[in-house]
Structure 1
Amino acid sequence: MLSTISPVLPKPVVKVTPDQRVFRGETVTLTCDIQGGGNIQWTYSWFKDGSVIRRVTERVYTITSVSDNSGKYSCRGERSDSQRSDISAAVTLTVSARPKPVVKVTPDQRVFRGETVTLTCDIQRGGNIQRTYSWFKDASVIPHVTERVYTITSVSDNSGEYSCRGERSDSQRSDTSAAVTLTVSVSPKAVVTVRPDERVFRGETVTLRCDIKWGGDTEWTYRWETEGTNYQYTNSVSRISTQELNIRSVDHFHSGKYTCTGQMGTQSSQRSDAVTLTVSGEFVLRVSPQPWLTEGDSVTLICEVTGSSTGWTFSWFRDDDHLSDSSRGAGGSYTLSPAALQHTGVYTCRAERGRAAYYTKYSVSASVSLVVSPSRSQHFSSDSLSLSCEDQSNSTGWSVRRYTDRNTEDCSKLTGSTCRIDSLNTSDAGVYWCQSESGEKRHPLNITVHDGDVILLSSVDPVIEGDTLTLHCLHRSTNSSILRADFYKDRSLVQNQTTGEMNITTVSKSHEGLYYCKTERGQSLHSWISVRVSGSGQISVFNILSSLLAACPYLLATVVLLFKCCRARGKTSV
């Protein structure tokens, strides 16, 4: 019995080049490889998803610019004698959109000159295929840059539009990324502004603001620095990171140079120019047109804010009562015309700017003398001071009163008509005068107390016209004159002395003004030196400049106006 053996049909294999996963627009080649088919001439049939592909009979099937060609592909061979091979196993061809790179920029697309910028070409859904990269600036290829990460150190003229593209080893390319704009600019400079002014008085509230003009949306953080006299305060300022630096109840140690810088991630602005904040107490009340008051004369009291005239509102008081007669008050002046005995009283000028109010002190001399020991207007803190009311006939019934920190009070250590302060404090600064039991006020004097190391030694009373004015610069530790000192009047250098002493012979009214001295050890407070015309029977009115009181943001301008009536026959009465 014969048996029939059926021949084994050859099995084709489909090979795909470059890959079974391709991008739209690429060219794909499918090859039908009949293994064990020998050198027989074959014709081929191609199938997609089980359906024959018409008019394709070659062993190699090429699809150019693939798009909607995803599917399962298989093939079969047929000999001239109509013998066919098996159908190959299907291979899956996946066509997807070409990957689109994205350029990422670190730290930001807006950078400052000198910074380092990193650009990364990120091909999304690109798999782990090895690629080389092309970088473009303003659509032109950047030579010699083939890495995924492109780093530019110390940028300068690198502003432009940057894009990238990836390329596989089989020369298949990704799309070109959308361009990102890199902007390189000069680091902006911070600017410090001060409200209400760079020259302020103790007790005011000061606001320093750091502004940086820059077009980005990122928030800045700020760093403040100051060159001042108080080391602890300087350190505390350097820790403040807000745009505004607020100083409430400003004091002398806040004086100094302030700067700021902005920080935005790794970026820094340029440091601002320094703004000098000056805290002083130079607030003066003076009499115009001349310092003599006689009943019937016209007298004008003038408030002046030295070195700062913006934003002030002035008001006037007599014996602590507000003067409602606004027709006589104009800005920083108050006029009495004609002056009469009923105008006698203590006049106060108040200057306001913002929340705080400031005052100066002003007074007159009289027959009863207030004797000060040591006899000078400026004193060191912790020193002792004695003040006594003395009269040629009898000092009984007179006591020492003072006006400090907006309060009128008896001297705290009063024995009879003598006041003694064993250890001075800056809160003891103020106007001191003699007051009788009936309320008469005589010989007010200004006393200032300094925490520093240098004071100006000058007469506590006005200088008589024609006399010699002698000023000394005194040091705390030695209580003696400093050999090298500069003397100033109204902020201008008058004399540079190596003896520590300045003399002005034959004093005149032109020598009136604000005096202070400066040495390598420090600077004194300012004192008003008045010049009085020698006369008889009339009351001399002189200026007294007071420093701001340490305990309170109030500086008081007080004038005690007393009038002497001159009769035609030379008789006088008060």
Structure 2
Amino acid sequence: MFQLFFSLSELFSPPQIKVRPDQVTEGDHMNITCDTELSPHRETTELQFAFYRNGHNVQGFSLSNQYGVPSAQLEDSGNYTCEVQTPTGSVRKRSNMAHIHIQGAAARPVLSFSPNWAPILTGDSVTLTCNGARPAQGNERYTWYRDSNPIPGVEQQNYTIQGAEIEHRGRYQCQNGTSERSAALQLPVSDDKVILQAPPGAHEGEELTLRCYTRPEYKTTNTAVFYRNKLTIRPLGSDSLVLGGAQTHMSGSYSCQTKLHDKDQGITITYTSAEEHVSVTELFSSPQIKVRPDQVTEGDHMNITCDTELSPHRETTELQFAFYRNGHNVQGFSLSNQYGVPSAQLEDSGKYTCEVQTPTGSVRKRSNMAHIHIQGAAARPVLSFSPNWAPILTGDSVTLTCNGARPAQGNERYTWYRGSNPIPGVEQQNYTIQGAQREHSGRYQCQNGTSERSAPLQLTVSDGELPTPALRVPRNDKECDAT
């Protein structure tokens, strides 16, 4: 009885989750890779990758085998898995589960004012709050600074100034436990009758409102005129001016004008405030495209990073990133600022940009354009047989083809091997065996130009009779692979 044994090869190995750095601390750049290896006979197969945390998708299927978190937070801890599939989904595999624990760090606190106006008038009250992770148990002390000098006797999270005086003005910072000091916020204190107020430290995308603020003993109406750079931007109306979502171009010198009633003299006068410079700060810097390695060769692992920096006053803001090639989206908005191509091909060349936005889309910025050129490499060829059956009988004919990138101009020679020995006189892409004999059996490889040799394929020639009908299977069969 004739017996035939054949094996079904994996198209790609079971994926493995890898995380860098090995121990992630709050605020670190965390990078997770979904690592798999294609069969040497299917090295040009395109794969897609997706990532999950606690079973919930955090990055949908794309060509990137990396998921990056620019500034890891405690809530990014969890059980991570990744999934790899062919574009049709005919082969899909899920990785092992990796538990990633983000260690807490003494995060830099953020200072805020309540009410959120600056400047303030003498006699007003304001509460300063040191926002951020609470200090470690046993080190609950807060430290407050004015113009870099510690403020004695204040060790709580909130610091209230009752009846502000001129000497209270200055640059304030706070520190919780052993954390860094917060970024500084300026508190101006004025003894004028009328002042133009704005939220201190306004950032892009935030609602921006100005108001014409008057000492209560003088105020007669709730009306005012507003000026920017000495030009009227709104005629007489409410004493508040809503500018909407803040943009950096709104920065400038603002003032207001209103009518005051002097109770002692019994007269009403028109009074214009001093000019106040209102600055709208970038929420995050314009993104920059960075590619590694600097020069990408066909087959290299290419990694593209969308690099931006948050304002120190808004370091906990969540950002989303997307990537484009020649204007077409290659990775949709996600928390990952990286797009990776495990094995770059010539068609991955192009003009790349990235886009960064807040979750609401209130602030969105696009990067510069980076032209990435993938240099051609002598790709490892893939050997195939036609007709694609095994084994064959003595007397049959079979054509072996060396598939892959054509060799460089001037080096068009193909080399064929049987059992690691060169086959003399065969230098073409196709090698045909007419009237096969048993001595033609063996492990065949090919090489085009200066490429690597192909993975070997076994050709078996039998001089015995096969049962009728003959039982044959395609060589190099792959799991659910229709090629």
With structure 2 as the length reference, what TM-score do the two structures score? 0.32
Q: Which has the higher contact order (CA 8 A, sep 6+)?
A: 2
Larger strand percent: 1
- TM-score computed with the length of structure 1 as normaliser: 0.27
